[in-house]
Amino acid sequence: MYKVFVNDVPIILSTQENIGSNYTNIPIKKAKIKQLIRKIESGDLLYLNLYHKKEHKLLKHLKRKLKVIIAGGGLVYNSNNEILFIYRNKKWDLPKGKAEKGENIEETALREVEEETHVEGLEIVSFLQTTYHIINRNDKYKLKETHWYQMKTDYTGDLIPELSEGIKKAKWKDFEKTQKALKKSYANIKLLFPKEYLVQHPNDRIS
């Protein structure tokens, strides 16, 4: 199963034809994805399940319907076990960005975190997961596939937000401040955090 977010509403991709009475269930091969996205954006559709009996074909079919943007990002801890956040579009987010030609996805993730916050000395600890959300660029819907890594650094210098990217702040946050920040963050970002950081939401119960 996958969750593909339109704003904070997840489209569920599953192998089940029916996942609940609240859901509109449609075979992914027959889904008119752009019309469905518009319904979600307008608030007319909140629960959508797109299904196929073969799990490995779910994303394959979606990627035929939407252009894919590959991105990388980081959940970064410092030596005080604080987490690195950026503030953009009135939301707390994690640093991430599009892959450039010729670099692998780990290089993308490290470069984007450095560029957006000017943190130094980053080291990848482990791969976390891949998240999916749909963006609208010039009235065209695209699927953003972001590969996330846990990172660490001993950096104690100043953080400098990349203003040209619309980032207003770059901050280290302890456990309590992280919990507060996540209340003003995105649903796909919350997927990256251990449960103790989160207040449970109805859509998070699907696993």
Q: Could you tell me the residue ranges of all domains in the chain?
A: 2-65, 68-205
Query: Candidates 3.40.50.1360, 3.10.20.30, 3.30.2270.10, 3.90.79.10; correct CATH number of 68-205?
Result: 3.90.79.10
Which single residue is written with the structure tokens 């599009």?
98
Per-residue model confidence (pLDDT) at position 203: 45
Residue 89 burial (CB count, 10 A): 9
- Rounded distance between C-alpha atoms, residue 94 and residue 85, angstroms: 5
Look over the chain and give the mean of its residue pLDDT values, rounded to a whole number.
94
Query: How much is the pTM?
Result: 0.91
According to the model, what pLDDT value does residue 201 have? 44
What's the pLDDT tens digit per position in 26-61?
Answer: 999 999 999 999 999 999 999 999 999 999 999 999
Q: Determine contact, residues 109/74, Cβ cutoff 8 Å.
A: yes
Q: How confident is the model at residue 197, as a pLDDT?
A: 85
Residue 149 has pLDDT above 50, yes or no: yes
- 88 and 168 Cβ atoms separated by less than 8 Å: yes
Q: What pLDDT score does 202 carry?
A: 45
Task: Tell me the residue length of the chain.
Answer: 207
DSSP, residue by residue, 122-179: -EEEEEEEEEEEEEEETTEEEEEEEEEEEEE----S-----GGGTEEEEEEE-HHHHH
> Residue 93, Cβ neighbours under 10 Å: how many?
19
User: What letters, b where the CB count within 10 A reaches 16 and e where it falls short, cover 141-176?
Assistant: bebbbbbbbebbbebeeebebbeeeebeebbbbeee
Residue 164 has pLDDT above 60, yes or no: yes
pLDDT in tens, 70-106: 999 999 999 999 999 999 999 999 999 999 999 999 9
Tokens of 187: 């649903």
Q: Is the pLDDT of residue 110 over 80?
A: yes
